[in-house]
Structure 1
């Protein structure tokens, strides 16, 4: 079986985990945690980076930091993972779902202004497949209407918008190190704070509502409970694993882009011959090689393609289901029409993509897809 994903180990993960264990400091915020956080601050211009146990936790911290309440509306793309919305629902906010672009799963920025009203508090943008949303327009709207912008950069590590690292542009951002991402720690995430207003409070929320971080820096002589918060810190074992990955990010990214380019070059013939849509990279964005997908002509076609690949021991998968049509959302909200999000829900298929995907196996995948479409009427 050619799997959809296979976690890649650089070789130092267990070595650094052993170092962490032997150090006697395996709870959160030790040496490896601080190394990982400095990496994001130094390399991507993030003002304050805080490791979390997941991207979901980082998004929940975002909802706390903007004081999200039941009186607020948060604009979120419908075509995304559930936690892009759930983090704000848990604080009581109303989610206003936005449609995707016609040619890309990213949020359709041209439709955002029509969704903004006096209750709107924030816009959540998801950089799908590591490809940037048009952040100039998003930030312009945020400035015009005094809104917060939160970048869900779960898939977007080491990708850029007009030279600016994704995750460093909005007021807040969240990254993921889930095993399906480019850089992994099994589970894990990171909160990026890009607005000075949130730095001190982010540390407090991160430290279970206490000013413990200030205490350990010697800024205060004792610490106590001063705000809301939770246990968002990962252990040093997770941070040690992550550091081994971050040390090798250039090598990992280079290989992933090679795999992406090979998929594109050999499948682009299907764009004109079979009307298949392949990923588009706008001029303002780089490509971090996070995933490769194609968009079929129908749900039935996608189902048959996935089955054909599976019959040859290749696991391809479809992706998100439109959140605006989810059972949970429709319990308390009226149905809306978001046709582009629904199109990607029904037609997008993700191909196997991981560092150790061999040229031979990738060629097998490509050949089966090309043959499948040769036989399509």
Structure 2
């Protein structure tokens, strides 16, 4: 891209990240679960209301922990959207479970809650809703289904930090939830994530799984005189350097979210004429959902060549991208999962979606250029 190019993403730093990492170095504690990790845990717990927050290497790792906590066995089934990142399915497939792909809603691109019950079989153990673009799934409806059918809910809230549903933080509504702090997210640590344990009965075992299957946490709290191997587990702890970076971001989470929402709102206003002309559809936010400005996307009108539009945007120095290739259409998805229903919306909407540049510091002039160039391409 040229010097005046507009990248798709630009990681944002608050200015305190290096100072906090230096403080961690000065504390002579670089491995996990030091002072900065504890601050991050406390922030997430207080902000979301979850019973226990545990930092992980990634949201993928958090989902891996969730799958272990559910004691999934070969042949068990987990209902989820096909329109999601591979981590949502991988975590459960690694335990021998089968992802059952259900279609998405046309308005939010989230798992269609009205189609879940028809996908339930005697093997179903859990539902894994994905809050696309930080816009909540219809959680009350899903929670009622889970309760009626004795299922667990694992929220993939990778994109949902600082977003909520009816005043409840995403990730803290189901039995378990997961956050991502990848550099493309709103609140970042480069790589990183968190498991939110909302069922208090799972907290103790979650700590064991995160500490390689040992009761090391109980030992450090003085609850046992030595620690030893207790259960399945792995090394899910990020270093204090990651936690220190993350703490600088969490301190500014409200301001970062406010700025992203302002950018999102500007896009929404600027693109209204293109929607009125029938060339695109803008995102739809249900009244019960408070989103976090994570993604701004448009859905191209049927028949428009998306690859051609992306190519023209790139030629004009604008970093726009498509999003997920539906998992059910992938080689691994066909090998390990099964489809319930036709998934027509998953297929058609995923082929029409374009994500626009979205990052803190994206100025109004840059946004106007993105919208002007997109409009010019679509009006050709």
Shorter-chain TM band:
over 0.9
* Equivalent residue, structure 2, for 1:364: 369
The equivalent position to 1:119 in structure 2, one of 120, 123, 147, is 123
Asked whether 1:188 is paired with 2:192, we answer yes
Contact 1:299-1:346 within 8 A present in 2 as well: no
Give per-residue Cα distances to partners, 1:139-183, cap 9 Å, x unaligned: 000000000000000000011100111111000000000000000
Give per-residue Cα distances to partners, 1:93-146, cap 9 Å, x unaligned: 011001111223101110000001111000000000000000000000000000
Contact 1:298-1:346 within 8 A present in 2 as well: no
In structure 2, relative to structure 1, the CA distance for the partners of 1:48 and 1:334 (3 Å cut) is closer
The equivalent position to 1:73 in structure 2, one of 77, 86, 91, is 77
The equivalent position to 1:197 in structure 2, one of 198, 201, 215, is 201
Give per-residue Cα distances to partners, 1:41-94, cap 9 Å, x unaligned: 111101100000000000000000010111310001100000000000000001
Q: Secondary structure at the match of 1:242?
A: helix
Cα offset, 1:246, TM superposition = 0.3
* Equivalent residue, structure 2, for 1:162: 166
In 2: Cα distance, 1:300 partner to 1:168 partner = 39
Give per-residue Cα distances to partners, 1:233-253, cap 9 Å, x unaligned: 000000000000000111111
- Structure 2, unaligned stretches of length 5 or more? none
* Equivalent residue, structure 2, for 1:328: 332
In 2: Cα distance, 1:41 partner to 1:299 partner = 46
TM-score by length of 2: 0.96
Structural mapping, 1:270-349, within 5 Å: 270-298=274-302, 300-331=304-335, 337-349=342-354
Contact 1:54-1:177 within 8 A present in 2 as well: yes
Q: Secondary structure at the match of 2:293?
A: coil
Dislocated runs of 4+, deviation >6 Å: none
Q: Secondary structure at the match of 2:109?
A: strand
In 2: Cα distance, 1:47 partner to 1:151 partner = 15
In 1: Cα distance, 2:252 partner to 2:377 partner = 37
Q: Secondary structure at the match of 1:101?
A: coil
In 1: Cα distance, 2:75 partner to 2:307 partner = 42
In 2: Cα distance, 1:145 partner to 1:50 partner = 28
Aligned residue-pair number: 375
In 1: Cα distance, 2:137 partner to 2:334 partner = 27
The equivalent position to 2:178 in structure 1, one of 174, 178, 190, is 174
- Structure 1, unaligned stretches of length 5 or more? none
In structure 2, relative to structure 1, the CA distance for the partners of 1:161 and 1:332 (3 Å cut) is closer
* Equivalent residue, structure 2, for 1:11: 15
Give per-residue Cα distances to partners, 1:4-25, cap 9 Å, x unaligned: 0000000000000011011110
